[in-house]
């Protein structure tokens, strides 16, 4: 019975998704696909940006996060909110002033074509691997819930899901991403709120009783000021949150393509700030849900899963839970997973077309030729993502997945360093040598990480991003030209 319930939920969600995609893509041309037509209302961008950073991994992992690290993640989320103000008031004016289709076009204007392509390639590698791994989690979950009980091989799971993502993002581009992300945000919030309600009801708590039970449980501790050496120490998490969101949102074409679709810089600022503040409450809901899942597991005698990430899925599939909980879980999972993959696919197409190939909707450009080029690139990106997902599934190796996430953390360091140097100085650089600096910085960061661990037992975590960016800036200083 469960596989058909899951399939019906997926079918219903995609029916709504295709209606939104069709409505958003009417009258679209290549410019609309790449920029959204610069007409998106700020409040729609704000709603879209609430759910934009949330992937299927986040949806599954954050509730389980409370088992090992309590509510400490909220310390980083507070840093995220500050980071959104930095993006709104420093980066957005920069991007809008230059009327950029891709944010990496700034690197071309500031340094030259080689630096431009270097930044784009670092983004491209990080995004396609990171998006594939994140979506792999969704595919594996759906394989367990649907395809395996129906004896359908994993390869057909991947082909079907990638095909659906490809179809609904093909014509609408960024405009479709904004409206489908709006649907995603609403589905995520609805799913989490209703899950909290049903679990609290099953525990027999009213509103105040639920609040007291959460506050009394050890898993709900939020602030950690006692030990600076620990990874959960407040100031380490808070500062890391600021720089992580600047690098991985403000300097990420995937997430910035929504705000670049705003009517003007003032509209984009409002959307970013509202979404940054609202995310505090949304993540708070996920953490509250995590504590309630822990409380219900104890109440119903459900054994804690070996992996923290499995907590949410384990509880919703338990025989004591109503079917509606499984439906809400699947709804939230596919809303987070499919939307994130669709957004990444659109951003990869835009970045490859504009940054790497140098083709965009300039005045006098052949619209038919540009549209054909975009379709071909979009197909290639979808196929590449599908292949990577399947390869990682075959490897079935946690270390391989960790390697991809480690690679992503390294690739954002040089991007952060390039933009920081460009904005903080007026000096030009020897453009052709920039790729060497951007490769050397992560390598030196890796060596520093190994040396500190071997010599002092110090484990670098989020500060690795700052070291990577600082080394990139130092390398650019060595490449400084005396004339701009």
Q: What is the pLDDT of residues 208-220, one digit of tens each?
A: 888 888 888 888 8
Which stretch, 131-135, 164-168, 201-205, has highest mean pLDDT? 201-205
State yes or no: pLDDT of 34 exceeds 50. no
pLDDT score at 406: 66
State yes or no: pLDDT of 121 exceeds 50. yes
The arrangement of secondary structure in 2-403, i.e. its CATH architecture, is: Up-down Bundle (1.20)
Which residue, 359, 371, 376, is CA-closest to 32? 371
State yes or no: pLDDT of 146 exceeds 90. no
Q: pLDDT-based confidence at 145, cuts 50/70/90? A: confident
Percent with pLDDT over 70 in the chain: 82
* Residues 6+ positions from 167 with CB-CB distance below 8 Å: 18
pLDDT (tens digit, 9 = 90+) per residue, 267-289?
888 888 888 888 888 888 888 98
Q: pLDDT-based confidence at 221, cuts 50/70/90? A: confident
Measured distance CA(220)–CA(154) in Å, rounded: 38
Q: pLDDT-based confidence at 175, cuts 50/70/90? A: low
State yes or no: pLDDT of 327 exceeds 70. yes
Assigned token pair, 146: 């649907």
Mean pLDDT within 126-132: 81
| 71-85, 324-338, 420-434: segment of lowest average pLDDT | 324-338
Q: Which residue has the higher pLDDT, 157 or 229?
A: 157
pLDDT score at 363: 42
| 25-39, 173-187, 438-452: segment of lowest average pLDDT | 25-39
State yes or no: pLDDT of 45 exceeds 60. yes
The dihedral through the CA atoms of 193, 197, 199, 205 has a sign that is: positive
pLDDT (tens digit, 9 = 90+) per residue, 349-393?
877 887 777 765 544 456 677 778 878 888 888 898 889 888 888
State yes or no: pLDDT of 38 exceeds 60. no
State yes or no: pLDDT of 151 exceeds 90. no
pLDDT (tens digit, 9 = 90+) per residue, 3-15?
777 778 778 877 7
Alpha helices in 98-206 (DSSP H): 105-110, 113-142, 154-170, 174-203
State yes or no: pLDDT of 55 exceeds 70. no
**3-class DSSP assignment, residue 40:** strand
| 56-70, 103-117, 462-476: segment of lowest average pLDDT | 56-70
Q: pLDDT-based confidence at 421, cuts 50/70/90? A: very high
Mean pLDDT within 243-254: 80
Q: Which residue has the higher pLDDT, 258 or 67?
A: 67
Mean pLDDT within 322-329: 82
| 244-253, 430-439, 466-475: segment of lowest average pLDDT | 244-253
Measured distance CA(111)–CA(431) in Å, rounded: 6
Mean pLDDT of the chain: 79
| 37-46, 157-166, 421-430, 436-445: segment of lowest average pLDDT | 37-46
Q: Residue 459: left (phi > 0), alpha (psi -120 to 50), or beta?
A: beta
Q: Which residue has the higher pLDDT, 34 or 388?
A: 388
């Amino acid at each position: 019975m469960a596989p058909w319930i899951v399939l019906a939920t997926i079918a219903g969600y995609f029916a709504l998704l295709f209606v939104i995609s069709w409505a958003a893509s009417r009258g679209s041309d290549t410019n609309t696909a790449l920029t959204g037509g610069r007409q998106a209302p700020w409040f729609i961008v704000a709603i879209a940006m609430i759910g934009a950073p949330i992937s299927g991994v986040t949806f599954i992992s954050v509730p389980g996060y409370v088992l090992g690290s309590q509510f400490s993640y909220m310390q980083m989320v507070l840093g995220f909110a500050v980071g959104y103000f930095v993006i709104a008031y420093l980066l957005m004016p920069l991007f809008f002033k230059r009327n950029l289709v891709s944010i990496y076009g700034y690197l071309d204007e500031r340094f030259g074509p080689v630096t431009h392509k270097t930044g784009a390639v670092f983004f491209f590698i990080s995004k396609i691997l990171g998006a594939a791994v994140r979506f792999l989690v969704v595919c594996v979950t759906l394989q367990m819930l649907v395809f395996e009980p129906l004896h359908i091989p994993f390869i057909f799971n991947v082909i079907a899901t990638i095909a659906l993502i490809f179809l609904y993002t093909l014509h609408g581009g960024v405009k479709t991403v904004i409206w489908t992300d709006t649907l995603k945000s609403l589905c995520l919030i609805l799913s989490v709120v209703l899950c909290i309600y049903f679990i609290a009801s099953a525990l027999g708590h009213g509103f105040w009783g639920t609040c007291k039970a959460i506050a009394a449980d050890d898993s709900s501790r939020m602030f950690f000021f006692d030990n600076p050496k620990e990874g959960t120490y407040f100031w380490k998490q808070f500062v890391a949150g600021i720089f992580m969101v600047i690098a991985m949102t403000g300097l990420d074409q995937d997430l910035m393509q929504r705000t670049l679709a705003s009517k003007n810089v003032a509209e984009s600022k409002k959307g970013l700030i509202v979404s940054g503040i609202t995310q505090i409450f949304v993540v708070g809901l996920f953490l509250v849900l995590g504590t309630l899942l822990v409380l219900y597991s104890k109440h119903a005698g459900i054994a804690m899963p070996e992996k923290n990430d499995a907590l949410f899925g384990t509880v919703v599939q338990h025989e004591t839970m109503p079917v509606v909980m499984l439906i809400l879980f699947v709804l939230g999972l596919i809303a987070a997973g499919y939307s994130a993959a669709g957004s990444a696919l659109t951003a990869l197409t835009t970045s490859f077309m504009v940054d790497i190939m140098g083709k965009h909707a300039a005045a006098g450009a052949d619209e038919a030729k540009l549209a054909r080029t975009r379709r071909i690139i979009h197909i290639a990106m979808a196929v590449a993502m599908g292949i990577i997902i399947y390869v990682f599934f075959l490897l079935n190796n946690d270390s391989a997945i960790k390697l991809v996430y480690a690679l992503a953390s390294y690739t954002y360091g040089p991007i952060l360093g390039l933009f920081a140097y460009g904005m903080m100085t007026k000096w030009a650089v020897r453009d052709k040598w920039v790729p060497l600096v951007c490769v050397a910085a992560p390598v030196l960061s890796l060596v520093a990480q190994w040396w500190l661990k071997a010599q002092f037992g110090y484990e670098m975590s989020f500060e690795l991003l700052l070291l990577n960016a600082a080394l990139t800036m130092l390398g650019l200083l060595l490449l400084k030209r005396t004339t701009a």
